[in-house]
Structure 1
Amino acid sequence: MPAQATAREHHASAGDDTGTIVDVADYRRVLGHFPSGVTVVASEDADGPVGFACQAFSALSLDPPLVLFSVGLASTTWPRIEATGRFCVNFLAADHERLCRAFAVSGGDKFSGVAWRRSELGSPILDGAHGWVDCTIEATYPGGDHAIVVGRVHGLDADGESAPLIFHRGAFG
């Protein structure tokens, strides 16, 4: 069972301790100027493979090796992944825009027609991934309308030949 921590929630449209109010549209526009890689966070439970597209991913710690990502509280996929206690973060390659869009939608069989293999922990590694990180859930924390998930890294690899899929200013590149 992952550790739960409490934190004060901040909302983009709410005031903070200084009385400042941040407009949600401005928040999205400005933060959209920061380019990010695109990933698919995936696991497999008794009902089969499950995953979602995620651009909020980062390295966290070298010792111990930890990564983090955030997932919307409304996600119907995350509870299935959380229940397995493990996940694999797949870094999408530049030619994976269509794959990313398929994993970004809610519901349906996102793995239909997708080639993958199991990691040592049993989570999906997508064929052609630019890289992957195989993890167990270390902790989860509240983060406004998202949960922040910390994963302990057990295995990882990268394809030194492919280019990553990047998301910048609302578009892939």
Structure 2
Amino acid sequence: MITLDPQRYREFFGQLPTGVTAIVARGPEGPVGLIVGTFSSVSLDPPLVSFMVTRNSRSWLAVKAEGRFTANILASDQRSLSQKLAGWSPDKFRNVAFGEGDDRVIHGCLAWAACTLDREVEAGDHTIVLASPHELVVARATRPLIFFQRAYHRTLPVEDFRAPGWA
């Protein structure tokens, strides 16, 4: 078995920017959920998405018990919300604004996907969650919240990356 220095491992993968997504489900006493940086498209046919959670995540167990959840892609102005939802507090959803008529859609998120749990795959100290999205909504035109090198960042507008002559 190969042994790697955990600090070096985190530093290496900290060089890869990730989006910030809030996974939210209805629990018996209100919303439950967690923040992930690994939300991704897996397959178009059939439609599948994925994310990874630590095996001992109590928040994931609460979401899993519901079997359905919404993946809320957070916008660049939702940093404080991300920090709040990443915590361990049992009332971390207190004062979180939700969309009208759905307590799984976070108000102001960039986009959201309503999903049904498909299966889990154990992988080391994590679980890979696979889910089937059944509704996809782009809620507003703004920049995503990005996590890079252990800090939150905003992306630059697309125009800043285009060289002359790019479409």
Give TM class, smaller chain: 0.7 to 0.9
- Determine helix, strand or coil for the equivalent of 1:117: coil
Unaligned runs of 5+ in 2: 154-167
How high is the sequence identity, in percent, across the aligned residues?
37
Which residue type is aligned with residue 60 of structure 2?
W
Of the three residues 144, 158, 161, the one matched with 2:124 is 144
Aligned to 1:83: 65
- 1:70–1:146 CA contact under 8 A, matched in 2: yes
Aligned to 1:28: 10
- 2:108–2:140 CA contact under 8 A, matched in 1: no
CA–CA separation in structure 2 for the residues paired with 1:135 and 1:124: 11
Aligned to 1:154: 134
CA–CA separation in structure 2 for the residues paired with 1:110 and 1:117: 17
CA–CA separation in structure 2 for the residues paired with 1:103 and 1:160: 21
CA–CA separation in structure 2 for the residues paired with 1:89 and 1:39: 6
Moved over 3 A (4+): none
Residues 11-33 of structure 1 show CA distances to partners (whole Å, capped at 9, x for unaligned) of xxxx2xxxx43211111001100
CA–CA separation in structure 1 for the residues paired with 2:130 and 2:124: 16
- Determine helix, strand or coil for the equivalent of 1:100: helix
* TM-score, structure 1 normalization: 0.84
CA–CA separation in structure 2 for the residues paired with 1:114 and 1:105: 14
Aligned to 2:27: 45
Which residue type is aligned with residue 34 of structure 2?
F
Matched, 1:168 2:144: no
Matched, 1:101 2:83: yes
- 1:76–1:106 CA contact under 8 A, matched in 2: no
Aligned to 2:156: none
Of the three residues 67, 72, 97, the one matched with 2:49 is 67
Unaligned runs of 5+ in 1: 1-14
Cα deviation, residue 160, structure 1: 4.6
Cα deviation, residue 69, structure 1: 0.5
- 1:116–1:127 CA contact under 8 A, matched in 2: yes
RMSD of aligned alpha carbons: 1.5
* TM-score, structure 2 normalization: 0.86
CA–CA separation in structure 1 for the residues paired with 2:93 and 2:9: 32
CA–CA separation in structure 1 for the residues paired with 2:66 and 2:82: 22
